[in-house]
Each structure stands twice: as structure tokens, then as C-alpha cells.
Amino acid sequence: MKLRTLLYLYGWRLRAHPFQELLAGVGIAAGVALLFAVQVANTSITGSVDKLLSGIVGSADMHVTSVASDGLNTRAVTAVRATPGVDVAAPVLERRAILVGPSESQPFELFGVEPSLATLGGTLTRNFGESGLSLPERGIVLPSELARATGLQAGSTATVAIGGRPVRVPIAAVLGADQIGDVSRSPLAVARIEYAQEISGMRGRVTSIFVRAQPGAAGEARAALRTLADGRFDVGDADVMVRRLQKATEANDQSTALFSAISAMVAVLFAFNAMLLTVPDRRRFVAELRTQGASVGQVTAVIGSQALILGVVASAAGLLAGDFLSRTVFDGVPGYLAFTFPIGTQRVVPASAVILAFAAGVLAALVAGGRPLLDAFSRGNLEAAYDEEGEPGEGISMRQRLVLLGVAIVLLFVTAIGVAIEPSAAVVGVLVLTVAALAAMPAIFAGCMWLLDWIAERLNLKLLMIAVMSARASMTRSVAVASIAAVAVIGNVAIGGARNDLVSGLQAGYADHLRTADMWITTAGQSLTTDTFTITDPAVRRLRDAPGISAVRHYQGGMVDSGSRRIWLIARPRDDATIVPASQIVEGNATAATEQVRRGGAAAVSGVLAKSQGVGIGDSVTLPTPQGELQLRIAALVSNLSWGPGAVILNADDYARAWQTTDPSAIEIDLTPGTTAAAAKRTIAEALGSRADALDIQTRAELLAEFEGLLNQGLTRLTQISALLLIASALALAVAMSASVWDRRRLLAAYKLEGVKRRQIGGMLLYEGASVLAVGCLVGVAAGVYGHLLGNRWLELTTGYPAPFSLQIGHMLSLVALVLLLSLAIVALPGYLAARVPPRLRFQE
């Protein structure tokens, strides 16, 4: 059949059924938009750091990093440069700080660089070589986004809180995207390394060295550097920071991946079910073509081309809508890891997201639109679509329902057995569970309609009887609508339930972490006790002697890099009441572990970290230190303690000896009975003097709230996906129900000829819509609870985070009510217009 003829036939269909095709297209577009936006949302935040890092390292092969908070000395730089096979060794000082401007304060990474870094050709630093732009002797250079956020401009002066000290710093220049590209959206500042060392209090120190090997000597240089390191510093690839960030975001990425997979399935099903709305009419069209002598090939060409055109156009529109969503709803990158990584705000859209979303929309249209072809290939009655129960082309036979129900039961058994044998397969189980719920829908729907019919007869509810009869007559469309409601509820119950459980588990864990003190002193700007600072002995004595303070303890630790992991070290004072929190124990005894850690030489280790080293309780965990490798006996295995790559709890004395520092990352303060938080803050600020401006003085509750704020940032994508899924669900349901109502105007006109009033037709439509949605929501809740349980199990196994299951009845009831109200509210206008249909329409073709 010629292309011109195919286009003519589809043009005829558009003229004959414009509203139906429009609604089907909107449904497909909604599914594609959801799928595309979710993929963009799930793009790892490592994309922004990758762009930043490439702008700094350029052609570097290796990255030498310090394992101490005070970095490496200049002798290490000299030794690296003298290593065989090394061509360029460019030292960098990187230090987290807070930039205080007229508009607001922002965390940023200060990079101290020297001209040798420019020889590596990074887009950010290549202009700061001897022949390019010159960095000022004193002052920092800001990217335009950070300058805009803080209200600073070139020539102004700002306060920088760094290492627990406030420092006044000139703003030498502001660089935009035309000079440094996407890096202009990253939270960083660049300065001469000597000036950065001065303002950070790290004179003669660097934190890392970027190395480029001589041509053909990369292996030799790497081996020689590792021999030189001898466990005192880390030698990795130039992009090792990105891989460490990937480890840090792995748990969150896995959580979001689970929910994105559910949302992706929901999106494809939306598109698929939207296309199903056109199936009855297409089946009738196939029957007409066959009776007129069209061959199977011709019928296939007509139906396939129409589904393809609709799928392509709707998918393209869906990509545009998805791009809009990703720029608004999912704009920016959550900065919840900014306390230890230089997270930017660049939006990264992988080509795979575009291809997958577009292909899924087109495929859904082809598969759903291919249902009428079964009639074309059938050797039975040419007009089989007209011989079924209900409206022509709408029937789902008893045999088909039973077969699908059997498939659903088999899938449920396979899921239960598979998860029991391999718990990590729970994520696949959630997806299979969704398919099982859809397969069971025709049988469940038929059973529920029988029950409602029985109730209507007993209570003499005539409008309900008519509504049930109408729903049965349009079985395919009714099941499609119920299926959309089911997958929407499954996705939201599984996502919302697992998210809430995950948040509860993480909050409980961090609350235990903070329970050892009434007040906490940390570096400013949400450092979460991970950033070290200096404090003088006189200031400590003033704190101890201050009224209302009963005890002052140095809490040490921070982040240490080891291979692809950035490990959180928690160095507890020996006299902390609790060292190993009982709520975070995975294996072992909290009391016994606390005593072992308190005595020294032992540690409580995250299960994921122990697994990565192939060790367990009683074995030794190995940690890099400036003195070489440190081995600590494992007293207990604990959860990740809210940090994906893993954490180690040791005592502060062991840490101080191994890392040769007494600098705290936090100061714990106990108050005397009756001392208020406000009075304690004033007393502490007076004892600290001018340094109080660069430190956060917080109660336990305030620091916990700070953690919860960062936690919510980390789970922002899950929240956004849930909200978007709910909106898309309501839209898809409204589209499906509107199409169903609009296409039955002739039937409604027949009711009017029989004396049924407009108000009664409106009531019948309301009953029908509510009944169909209720069936879908009922199936969705049942499957969603099981999916929630499987999702929690999967999260605990793969992320190491605690996610204790809880049956959230209030959440489920509010969700179902919201889906029902939104869908019925949106469909009210088409229902109202359809109820006003004139009786004469019954006689029109």
C-alpha cells in the first residue's frame, strides 16, 4: 500500500475521531514526559563534579591526595616531581569554606593553584599560566554564579569563614561562562596557592597533586608513586574524585534508581493504556476492512502506520514536555554533599534519556495499537469484534480473563520465591509485581462489577446498576482506566512508603550520633562534624570555666580518602557516654563494642566497608594515615551511619596518634541542669571570641535539623518523582476517562430518548468513574504495600541504610483520596458536556 494512501486513511481517521486521537496522544506524551524527566532527574550529580574536575585537571593522568586534614608538605611535592616517569606535578590546595556576601552566605571550595597547573590544559585553569591571565598576589577569583548568589562583584571585599576563622578577602575577578564554560555554575574560588595557604592557615601545605606522566611512562610513574606513598597518601586516577563521589551517591542513586524504574514502568504503561483507548474503534475498523476484502498485509500496513505516526508525534511532544519539566521541577542538582564535595548546579541530559523515552513511547503505541491485528490474523468470524459482549470491540472474554489471572498468580509466586532465594532481586520483584497486578486486573474488575451489581440490586440503586452495566459494556476502556489508577497508586505507595521509612531510619541513626552532647560547636555552613578547625588552649579553658557548662570534649575525625571511597571517620572521646549506638548495630553487641573501642585498638565498621575489604568481626580493618596503614580490630559491624561509602567509629586518642593532630572536627559540650540553650550560646560565643563568627554553635536539636535538611536535599529527587508521578497519574486518568465518556455520547443520547434526565446521566457517569477508579486503587494499594515491603528490603541490602517497614495507612488513604478527587475533578468538564448531548445524536453516524 502506498504511503500516500496510508496518510490519507490516517487523515480520515483524524477527521472522524479527532478527540479520541488527541487524548491518546496526550496520554502517550504524558508517559514519555514522565519517563524523560525521571531519567534526567536520576542523572547522577557526579555530572557536575565531572565537568568541574575536567576543568581543573585537563590532561593529568593521576591524582595524589593527602589522607590527613592538614595535607602534604612541600617535601612531598618535590619528591613527586622527582619520581621517574613524571612529566608535570601540579600541587593544589583545596579547602572548604563559607563565602559571606551582601545577599547571602554560600559554601564553596577554595582552590589554591600555581602556574604549573595551567600546563595541564584544564578549561578553568589553562588561562592562569605564565602567558595567560595572571592571578593576583592577594585575592580570589569567583565564577559568576557564586558571585551572583552572594551579591559580590569584582573589586569588593568579602568575609570567608575557613578552618574556624573569619578572614577578609578581596574579590579580584568574576569569570562567566564565556571564559570558563559550565564551570561558572560551580561553587568554587581560585587563588594563588600561597595566598590560599595563608588564609586557610595551611602555610607550606597542599591537599593534592595532579600528575601527568611522560609519554609511555604512565605505568612506571604510577608504580613509583605508590612505592613513594607507602600508605601515607593515596595515588589514584585523575578522575578518582568523581569515583569517590559515585561511591558517596551510590546509596542515593540506588534508591532513586528503584523509584525511577517504577516510574519508568508507570510511564510506559500510561502510554500503553492511553493507546488502548483507541483499540475498540480500531478493531471495528479492522473488521470493516476485512469484510471489504482488504488483505492481512494491507490491514497491517494501515493499523501499523497509524500507530507509528501517533507514537512518533506524541513522543516528540512528550520529549518537549519532559524537557520543560526537567528544567522546572527538576532544575538544578541537589547540593546535599556540598559539605565534602564541590557540587555544581549544571543540568546534565544524557542522549540515552532522549532515545529511551522516545523509543518507549513509540513502542507502546505500536504494541497497544497492534491489538486489532489479532482480528486480522484470526481465521474466525470476520466481524468478531461485533459479536462480543458489550460494545463492539470492547469485550474481554472469560477465557482471556482467566488466562491473565493465571499469569498473575504465577508471577506472584515467582516473585515471592525469587526474593526469598535472592533478596537483592527485590527491585525486579517490584516491577514484576506491577505487571502481575495489571494481568489480574480484568478478572478482578469483572468480579468487583459483579459485586457492585449485586449491591445495587439489593439496595435498588438504579443509577449504580446503569453505571455497572455501562462499565461492563466498555470493558477494555474500563480496565485500561483501572490499570492506570492501579499503577499510579502502586508507584506512589511504593515510592512514598519506602521514602518515609528510609527517612525515619536515617533520622533515628543521626539522632543517636548526636545524643552524646547537649551543644555542638562545628565549622560554619552545614559541615556535619566532618570539617576540622583549630582552637587554642586558652579558648578551651574559657569554655570549661564558663558558667552553665559541665563538660567540654574534643570530637575528632572527618573524611579520609582510600581508593574509590571517601570514608567518614568518627573519633569519639573515651568519656562519651555512648560510642557505638545500639540502633545502628548490624552484627555484634553495642555494649561490648563500646568498651572495646573505648580501650583502644578497635573500631566499629560499616558493613559495606568491611565487605569491600573482605573482613568481619574479630578481623582488622585497614585505614590509610600520614604514618602509614593503621589496622584496627573490628568490634562490631554497623550501618552506613547515613554515609554511603561507609564509616568507622574509633576513639579520639587512636585517631590523634595515627593522624598526629589534636584539631577537633567538633566540640561536644554538656550543660549543667537548668542552663538554657540561649544562655549557653552567649557564654560559648564569649569564650570563643572573634572565632565564633566562623563557627556554628548549635543545640543537639538544631544540628539534627541541619542534618534532616541535608537529608531532604538528598531525597529531593524521590520527592519530586513522587509528585510528578501523581500529577502524571491524574492527567493520564483524566485523559482516559474523558476519552471514554466522550466516545459514548451516542449511547448517552439513547438514554435520553428513553427518558433518562441529564442529572441522572451525570450521576451515572460519576458512579461509573468512581467505581472504575476504586477498583484500580484497591488493586494498587494491595500491590503497592507488597512493593513497599520489597522496596524496603532492597534498600537495606543495597544501600546499607536502615529502612524499617511501617504500614502507612494514613498515607495510603490520603493518596487514594487525592487520586480520586483529582481525576474526577479534571473529568468533570467532559462529563458535563457529554451529559448535555442532544437526543438526535443517537441517529447520527
| Rounded Cα gap, residues 172 and 155, in angstroms | 6
Residue 579, CA distances (Å) to 212, 584, 633, 638, 700 in order: 43, 11, 15, 12, 16
DSSP state at residue 616 = -
Fill in the amino acid letter for 407.
V
654 exposed, middle or buried (CB, 10 Å; 0-12, 13-18, 19+)?
buried
Mean pLDDT for the stretch of residues 269-278: 64
DSSP state at residue 226 = H
The pair phi, psi for residue 776, each rounded to 5°, is -60, -45
Tens-digit pLDDT profile for residues 348-372: 677 888 888 888 888 877 876 666 7
| Rounded Cα gap, residues 86 and 225, in angstroms | 9
pLDDT of 150: 92
Residue 258 confidence (pLDDT) above 70: no
Q: What is the DSSP string of 72-87?
A: EEHHHHHHHHTSTTEE
Residue 374 confidence (pLDDT) above 70: no
342 exposed, middle or buried (CB, 10 Å; 0-12, 13-18, 19+)?
buried
Pairing type for strands 157-162 and 105-113 reads unpaired
Give the domain ranges of the chain. 1-52+252-394, 59-237, 516-706
Residue 393 confidence (pLDDT) above 50: no
| Rounded Cα gap, residues 818 and 725, in angstroms | 13
Pairing type for strands 585-587 and 519-523 reads unpaired
Mean pLDDT for the stretch of residues 667-691: 92
Tens-digit pLDDT profile for residues 201-218: 888 899 889 899 999 898
The length of the chain is 845
C-alpha cell at 81: 616531581
Q: Are the C-beta atoms of 508 and 514 separated by less than 8 Å?
A: no
Coil/strand/helix, residue 520:
strand
| Rounded Cα gap, residues 787 and 779, in angstroms | 12
| Rounded Cα gap, residues 15 and 702, in angstroms | 63
Residue where the block lists cell 479520541:
20
Beta bridge partners of 571: 556, 650
Residue 131 confidence (pLDDT) above 60: no
Pairing type for strands 157-162 and 165-175 reads antiparallel
Residue 551 confidence (pLDDT) above 90: yes
Lowest average pLDDT, out of 8-22, 275-289, 623-637, goes to 275-289
Lowest average pLDDT, out of 550-554, 627-631, 682-686, goes to 627-631
C-alpha cell at 178: 564565556
C-alpha cell at 403: 488466562
pLDDT of 641: 80
| Rounded Cα gap, residues 781 and 783, in angstroms | 6
Q: What is the DSSP string of 279-335?
A: HHHHHHHHHHHHHTT--HHHHHHHHHHHHHHHHHHHHHHHHHHHHHHHHHTT-S---
Tens-digit pLDDT profile for residues 580-619: 988 888 889 999 999 999 999 999 999 888 988 899 999 9
Coil/strand/helix, residue 830:
helix
Cβ neighbours, 10 Å, residue 656: 15
Helix (H) or strand (E) holding 624: strand 620-625
Of 463, 331, 426, nearest in space to 760 by CA: 463
| Rounded Cα gap, residues 608 and 637, in angstroms | 9
| Rounded Cα gap, residues 431 and 787, in angstroms | 8
Q: Are the C-beta atoms of 303 and 289 separated by less than 8 Å?
A: no
The pair phi, psi for residue 583, each rounded to 5°, is -70, -15
| Rounded Cα gap, residues 278 and 369, in angstroms | 8
Q: What is the DSSP string of 630-664?
A: EEEEEEEEE--TT-TT-EEEEEHHHHHHHHT----
pLDDT of 730: 72
> Within 13 Å and on the Cβ side, how many CA atoms surround 203?
1
Fill in the amino acid letter for 295.
S
More confident position, 662 or 750? 662
Tens-digit pLDDT profile for residues 496-530: 777 777 777 778 778 888 889 999 999 887 778 88
pLDDT of 4: 83
C-alpha cell at 246: 559515585
More confident position, 833 or 301? 301
C-alpha cell at 477: 476502556
Q: What is the DSSP string of 12-62?
A: HHHHHSHHHHHHHHHHHHHHHHHHHHHHHHTS-THHHHHHHHHHHHTT--E
Residue 321 confidence (pLDDT) above 70: yes
C-alpha cell at 751: 438514554
Mean pLDDT for the stretch of residues 224-232: 85
Q: Integer distance in angstroms from the first to the last C-alpha of the chain?
A: 27
Coil/strand/helix, residue 158:
strand
The sign of the CA dihedral 46, 47, 48, 51 is positive
| Cα angle value 490/496/498 (rounded, 5°) | 95
Mean pLDDT for the stretch of residues 148-177: 89
| Rounded Cα gap, residues 104 and 107, in angstroms | 10
Of 180, 360, 167, 396, nearest in space to 280 by CA: 396
Tens-digit pLDDT profile for residues 751-801: 777 777 778 777 788 888 888 888 988 998 998 888 888 877 777 776 666
Mean pLDDT for the stretch of residues 556-577: 87
pLDDT of 529: 84
pLDDT of 554: 93
| Rounded Cα gap, residues 536 and 629, in angstroms | 30
Residue 379 confidence (pLDDT) above 60: no
Q: Are the C-beta atoms of 452 and 280 separated by less than 8 Å?
A: no
Mean pLDDT for the stretch of residues 311-316: 90
Residue where the block lists cell 525521571:
38
Q: Encode 453-509 in three state secondary structure.
A: HHHHHHHCCHHHHHHHHHHHHCHHHHHHHHHHHHHHHHHHHHHHHHHHHHHHHHHHH
Residue 466, CA distances (Å) to 471, 748, 762 in order: 9, 11, 12
pLDDT of 125: 64
Of 466, 445, 462, 436, nearest in space to 772 by CA: 445
Beta bridge partners of 631: 622
More confident position, 231 or 664? 664
Coil/strand/helix, residue 587:
strand
Helix (H) or strand (E) holding 546: none
Residue where the block lists cell 534519556:
353
pLDDT of 129: 55
Residues 6+ apart with CB under 8 A from 793: 419, 423, 426
Residue 23 confidence (pLDDT) above 80: no
Average pLDDT over the chain reads 81
Q: Encode 98-131 in three state secondary structure.
A: EEECCCCEEEEEEEEECHHHHHHCCCCCHHHCCC
**pLDDT level of residue 66 (50, 70, 90 thresholds):** confident
Residue 559 confidence (pLDDT) above 70: yes
